[in-house]
Amino acid sequence: MNIALLDVDFTDVLLIIIALLLVVIVAYIVSNGWLYTRSRRRTENLEDKPAKIITVISCKNNDYTIEREFQEGDFIGKVADKCPKCGAEMIISKIYTIPLESGQKPYKQSSR
Ligand SMILES: [Zn+2]
Q: What is the CA radius of gyration of the chain?
A: 30
Model pTM score = 0.48
DSSP state letter for 102:
G
Q: In angstroms, what is the span from residue 108 Cα to ligand 1's centroid?
A: 18
Same domain, 35 and 66: no
What is the distance in A from the centroid of ligand 1 to the CA of 86? 4
Tell me, in angstroms, the distance from the centre of ligand 1 to residue 72's CA.
24
Q: 103: CA distance to ligand 1 center in Å?
A: 30
CA nearest neighbour of 65 among 55, 77, 73, 75: 55
Residue 4 has pLDDT above 90, yes or no: no
Report the pLDDT value the prediction gives residue 81, as an integer from 0 to 100.
86
Min mean pLDDT across 4-8, 31-35, 36-40, 79-83 is at 4-8
Tally the domains of the chain.
2
Kindly state the average pLDDT of the residues 74-101: 93
96 Cα to the center of ligand 1, angstroms: 22
Cα–Cα distance between 79 and 67 in angstroms, integer? 14
Question: Is there a single domain that holds both residue 61 and residue 107?
Answer: yes
- Distance from the alpha carbon of residue 109 to the mean position of ligand 1, in angstroms: 14
Report the pLDDT averaged over residues 52-66: 95
- Centre of ligand 1 to C-alpha 83, Å, is 5
Q: Are residues 55 and 107 in the same domain?
A: yes
Domain range enclosing 80: 51-111
How far is ligand 1, taken at its centre, from the CA of residue 64, in Å?
A: 5
Residues 56, 20 share a domain: no
